[in-house]
Amino acid sequence: MAADERRRCGRPAAAALLAVLLTWPRSADPTDSDRRICVTEGCVMSAASVLANMDKTVRPCDDFYEFACGRFTRGARVDDDKTKRTTFNALNDAIADKVRRVLEQPEPGPGPGPRHPTLARRLYGMCMDERGLDELDAAPLLRLITAVGGWPVLDGGRWDGAGFRWTDRVYRFRELGLNVDYLLDVSVAVNHNDTTEHVVELDRPTLGINPVYLKRGLSDKMVDSYYRYMVDVAVALGAQKPRAVRELRQSLDLEVLLARMSQMQSADGLADFTVLTVSELTARRPGVPWREYINRLMCPDSGRSGDAACVRDGQRVMVNVPGYLSGLGPVLRATDRRVQANYMVWRAVASCIALTAGRLRARQQVAYGEMLGPLTREPRWAECVEFVSSKLHLAVGAMYLKRYPSERVKTAAVQMINSVRQEIYVALKNSGTNDRCFLLSASCGSSASTAAIGWIRRRKKNALDKAKAIEEFVAYPDELLDAEKVDGYYAPLRFENDSDYFGSVLRLAKFVCDKNFEKLHVPVNKSDWTTHGRVTVVNALYNLVENSIQIPAGILQGMFFSDDRPGYMNYGGAGYVIGHEMTHAFDNQGRLYDRAGNVRDWWRPETSGRFAERARCMVRQYGGFGGAGDGGARVNGLNTLGENIADNGGVALAYSAYRRDRRRRREPRLPGLHEYTGRQMFWISAANVWCSVYRADALRHAALTGRHPPGRYRVIGAFQNQRHFAADFRCPVGSFMNPADKCRVW
């Protein structure tokens, strides 16, 4: 059954449940607002979802995740084209349906109109033309291989490596719109030491599969699947199999070395970085002609290193991975040119297989299935919607907002953000008085000296200043409502031929790369609307160097938010997300950045030590989750530390904001859930955010490589540490959900 058919099949059952809920008895006394039953559409839909997920046979204090999500985990089916089923991807599917309707809407009649909708609809139409892609088969890919100078594994003895330089191959990739990050990622970014300035950024490469697996070599089954995929693609394009087996094994060995180097980290587990000028970089790492290399990437059309738009010797370069960079030169010098070329062209070929159809695309799907579980391809329309939404996100966002206005939601979300932010102020102002063990307070159980108290006050002021300075970008930037501005952004982009999907995508990729590189000599604008316009994304983020949070319109709906339901549902959903992102400003990475987003150590060694001690508690707690019951997958407490700190702080902030907000108004209860108080419903709503089911391989993959624990442990871990949760459900001390020893960082 197709995924879109499955979505329709669930609606009659939901309608029947809603009919039952609408007939639920209401309070006879309308003045008793705590006992009134809310029957707005938002309340009824929310109640239906919560009841469908809950298992009331489980006691909340025994396992709150099973209580809130037990029926979901046992009854939800992971679609054949998915690796998991979560609240997030259910909402993402709903938004994809909306975007599909926008993209498939006929163009307006003759006459002038905005250009960006035409661009988006043309790209979507090209993507949907599977018959045309089938007829072309691998021809566009073979032409690309010729254009980049050939692929040794295909060319055999005809390939001449005498004049090969890996830098020249990267320059050619840049001209054609291919990625340039297969050996070293080069981009324009904000200087972490001075966030008013753009710099050249050098970072670790993007590899074919996750380096956690790659570094193990062929002994890992995922690496073995990846290698067989490489060989099969080369053979399908005309390589002799014995040659492909031999030469691509050497190519894989190079990629394994790159993976091992890319995993180098500093002792605290955070990425190291240094800022140098181009001339300093050249002196320290002379193996690469850095000025030429950066210039050829940043301004390929000028070809003049002295051009004002290009890079000079004094240009600052932020090296995010000094260890990787120091190892890259020796590795490449020791690697045969043929091996280098085979690796680089393989990566270019692999990145373009999704733009083809037929046998290569089928082999790609087999590889994905072997690595992440038995998956089928998602419906073509869903694939094309996702692609167009990600590559032309401003155009799609503007079109989406025109059809689905979000102004009311934006206003309500801003109010919620202000409420959550206020709780940070309260917590910081009260630290050291109400809670002497708070991180910025004096040492627990001892008196603070006058000097220490002065230091605490200064650091608390710094923390308050940072909290106050957090910028919020909510729902959408207003510029997306201005068609002329959106058209202006896309003015340089042209699609020449609607039958050339392959070429159109490469032109689009080059356009995106140009947009990034042209920022180099432009002052940083932290409020730039073009960087905050991903409207349909079902996610939120905190930006370290902007000291900002982004809460897109995509996540301000569904189980997360509705303006016609009680606050306990919204604070448990979107409020939790907002609190999570704000807490990132003070997590294991965020605490190293000041209010302006600059890296600055504003901590005393004593306080850093206290933070590390508390963080270790959380690492141990989450590291104990998982095991046999999860297919052997155990949570990595260190990798997930930042997200766990944010979950713990976020849910606490959202709860406090809800309690303060509730004092100003009393709220009705939900149909079918009238036995639960508003405070209890907050926790139930917050848990529902993480209801999830994973395929076994996907769960192991998430546990090994992810920065987030599986949903079950996001609920259990954060809620075990909340004394208000234990009080609201009257969990006895020592019960599973109310351990005597709790972890708290902030």
Active site residue 647: yes
**Residue pair 618/636 in contact by the 8 Å Cβ criterion:** no
Q: Alpha carbon 602 to chain centroid distance? A: 28
Residue in 391, 342, 352 with CA at minimum distance from that of residue 139: 352
What the block records as the tokens of 722 is 């909340």
Element (H, E) at 473: strand 471-475
Report the relative pairing of strands 274-277 and 316-319 from DSSP bridges.
antiparallel
DSSP assignments along 530-568, one per residue: GGS--TT-S--EEETTTTEEEEEGGGSSTTS--TTS-HH
Calculate Rg over the CA atoms of the chain.
27
Q: Which of 581, 587, 630, 697 is catalytic?
A: 581
**Residue pair 100/387 in contact by the 8 Å Cβ criterion:** no
Element (H, E) at 471: strand 471-475
What is the SS3 assignment for 250-261?
HHHHHHHHHHHH
**Using CA atoms, how far apart are residues 613 and 463, in angstroms rounded to an integer?**
20
What the block records as the tokens of 198 is 């753009």
Q: What is the DSSP letter of 593?
A: B
Active site residue 528: no
Q: Which of 129, 472, 487, 647 is catalytic?
A: 647
**Using CA atoms, how far apart are residues 642 and 588, in angstroms rounded to an integer?**
6
User: Distance of CA 340 to CAs 207, 337, 650, Å?
Assistant: 14, 5, 46
**Using CA atoms, how far apart are residues 371 and 357, in angstroms rounded to an integer?**
21
**Residue pair 110/389 in contact by the 8 Å Cβ criterion:** no
Residue in 183, 125, 543 with CA at minimum distance from that of residue 327: 183
Q: Alpha carbon 458 to chain centroid distance? A: 34
Q: What is the DSSP letter of 405?
A: -
Which ranges of 584-677 would DSSP assign to H, the alpha helix? 605-623, 641-662
Strand-pair partners of 194 = 191
**Residue pair 470/549 in contact by the 8 Å Cβ criterion:** yes
> What is the torsional sign of CA 409, 410, 411, 412?
positive
What the block records as the tokens of 583 is 């807490």
Edge-to-edge strand order for the sheet containing 548-552?
471-475, 548-552, 541-543
Element (H, E) at 191: strand 185-191
Residues serving a catalytic function are: 581, 647
